[in-house]
């Protein structure tokens, strides 16, 4: 009887323990809410960016420009870049009033071998990332410009330039200067030796001239610098002062341009530049 009672007590204790275990079982905990991450911009591959021209051929050491246009309007400004730029190549972007349109300027070094260079251009917008290849073929290399004495006429073989809109138009004789990279620093010096007026008399006032780096090759027949929302094909690097110009040489293609404005036609003939004789020297 005692054994049966003890056995019943054990069974009751076991049942009660099981009952408590079921009642005290921990309830499942809902996982914490994870805030949504920012959406990754969709990558749109070539030909998502319109590249004009699609390919160019230049000598090593020269520059080339490409007009880049996105296929659609975007909100805000795109972040433009060139991926994996090879050694011996530098790139820069010129923005415009339209954020979907920029100009890519590619500068090469003279030491680069002949062949094709492919650059991958990327534009990151708020919702999409656009990419496209730009092809540049190198054939030959620039030849360094020699110094010497030159003469030029304001009536023929001239180059027109604008630093903004039509009212900034100026024309004059010019000289193309090409420079490759050098192991030692070099300096350019330009000195006007004489200038003649439309009246055939010596010009008393200094002649105006400036040095421009060309963004394109071959050199254009019309220079447009940055300003006024216009697409530039050149950049002004130095201006004359009292018939002289000095500049520390950097690699690239440059144009030395003498300037006369159409507004000067109203001046007396003795004050209008007609011809100029100048000396160019590169040292050392």
pLDDT at 8: 47
Other Cβ atoms closer than 10 A to 264: 14
Q: Which two tokens stand for residue 161?
A: 């330039």
pLDDT attached to residue 99: 75
271, burial (CB in 10 Å: exposed 0-12, middle 13-18, buried 19+): middle
**CA 105 centroid distance within chain:** 4
Closest C-alpha to 101, from 59, 50, 62, 60: 50
| Alpha carbons 211 and 108: distance in angstroms, whole number | 20
Find the helix or strand (DSSP H, E) in which 10 lies: helix 2-23
pLDDT score recorded for residue 77: 80
Contact in structure between 91 and 109 (CB atoms under 8 Å): no
The pLDDT of residue 55 is: 93
Identify the pLDDT of residue 38: 56
Two structure tokens written together for 266 = 């109203």
**pLDDT (0 to 100) of residue 36:** 59
End-to-end CA separation in angstroms for the chain: 124
Q: Say what the pLDDT of residue 100 is.
A: 84
Sketch out the chain's domains with CATH numbers. 42-141 (2.60.40.10), 148-283 (2.60.120)
Q: How far apart are CA 206 and CA 204, in angstroms?
A: 7
Q: Which residue has the tokens 């004495």?
A: 149
Q: Going residue by residue through the chain (284 aa), what tens digit of pLDDT does each one get?
A: 444 444 444 444 444 444 444 444 444 445 555 555 655 666 665 458 999 998 999 999 999 999 999 988 777 788 999 999 999 999 999 988 777 889 999 999 999 999 999 999 999 988 889 999 999 999 999 999 889 999 999 999 999 999 988 999 999 999 999 999 999 999 999 999 999 999 999 999 999 999 999 999 999 999 999 766 788 999 999 999 999 999 999 999 999 999 999 999 999 999 999 999 999 999 98
Contact between 99 and 76 under an 8 Å Cβ cutoff? The reply is yes
């Amino acid at each position: 009887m005692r054994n049966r009672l003890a056995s019943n007590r054990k069974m009751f204790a076991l049942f009660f323990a099981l009952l408590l275990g079921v009642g005290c079982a921990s309830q499942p905990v809902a996982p914490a809410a994870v805030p949504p991450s920012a959406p990754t911009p969709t990558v749109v591959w070539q030909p998502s960016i319109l590249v004009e021209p699609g390919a160019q051929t230049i000598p090593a050491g020269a520059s080339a420009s490409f007009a880049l246009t996105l296929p659609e309007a975007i909100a805000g400004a795109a972040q433009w870049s060139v991926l994996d730029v090879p050694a011996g190549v530098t790139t820069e972007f010129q923005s415009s009033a339209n954020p979907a349109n920029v100009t890519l300027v590619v500068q090469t070094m003279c030491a680069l071998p002949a062949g094709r260079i492919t650059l991958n251009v990327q534009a990151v917008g708020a919702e999409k990332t656009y990419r496209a290849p730009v092809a540049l073929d190198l054939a030959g290399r620039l030849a360094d410009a020699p110094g010497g004495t030159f003469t030029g006429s304001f009536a023929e073989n001239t180059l027109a330039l604008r630093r903004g809109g039509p009212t900034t138009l100026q024309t004059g004789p010019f000289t193309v200067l090409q420079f490759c990279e050098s192991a030692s620093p070099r300096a350019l010096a330009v000195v006007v030796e004489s200038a003649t007026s439309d009246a055939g008399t010596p010009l008393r006032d200094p002649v105006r001239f400036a040095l421009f780096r060309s963004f394109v090759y071959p050199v254009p027949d019309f220079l447009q610098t940055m300003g006024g929302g216009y697409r530039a094909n050149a950049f002004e690097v130095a201006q004359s002062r009292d018939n002289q110009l000095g500049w520390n040489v950097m690699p690239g293609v440059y144009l030395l341009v003498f300037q006369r404005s159409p507004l000067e036609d109203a001046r007396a003939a003795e004050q209008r530049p007609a011809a100029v004789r100048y000396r160019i020297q590169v040292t050392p």
